[in-house]
Amino acid sequence: MLSEKVWLDRFLALLPSSVSILDLGCGSTQPIAAYFIAQGYQVTGVDASEYMIEMARQSFPEHVWVQQDFREHLPEQKFQGIIAWDSFFHLTQDDQRKMFKRFAEYAQSGTALMFSSGPEQGEAIGELGGEPLYHASLSAQEYQTLLQDNGFKLIKMIAEDVECTGHTIWLAQYRS
């Protein structure tokens, strides 16, 4: 069972059928983008890793895969869904703050936004495959303020959701 399924379905419930989703930090597409594609959505995935993008292209060549740092501006395009799952919290706190303006630039009226963060403000160095891995989060209040200031209405947030392997998840919708 896909541990993220409940949240992914909440996200999709805010979208019309078969629309375009932007996956920031898409990795190889597993499990997030692959789930959306299986549900009939068009995905544009962005990841800094050439290896991950190549895996995504091999798995789903009919979708759009962009190798670049997702903090960089994408060509002018609007999306009905924007997700940054297990990727957003690898940005510095300052870069996270800047991303909310970028989310709004990619949004249109009704766009769903979902991202995962740490449960509280702070920075930490974890490890993945023996390599150091940076994590940062803002306070819940600051995330709420950034969402509101950039045109998003908070729909649901759960810190350390036990039904989703302890993820802290934010789901919002663009109001403009």
Tens of pLDDT along 3-32?
Answer: 999 999 999 999 988 899 999 999 999 999
Domain containing residue 9: 5-174
Residue 18: its pLDDT value, please? 83
pLDDT in tens, 85-137: 999 989 999 999 999 999 999 999 999 999 999 999 988 888 878 888 888 99
Report pTM.
0.94
Range 35-44 contact pairs with CB under 8 angstroms and sequence separation of 24 or more: 35/2, 35/4, 35/5, 35/8, 36/8, 36/12, 36/81, 37/63, 39/12, 41/12, 41/15, 41/81, 42/18, 44/20, 44/74, 44/77, 44/79
User: Which of the pair, 140 or 75, is modelled with greater confidence?
Assistant: 140
Domain count, the chain: 1
pLDDT level of residue 144 (50, 70, 90 thresholds) = very high
Residue 136: its pLDDT value, please? 93
Residue 44: its pLDDT value, please? 97
| Paired sense of beta strands 131-137 and 122-128, if any | antiparallel
Number of C-beta neighbours around residue 173 at 10 A: 20
For position 59, which CATH number holds?
Answer: 3.40.50.150
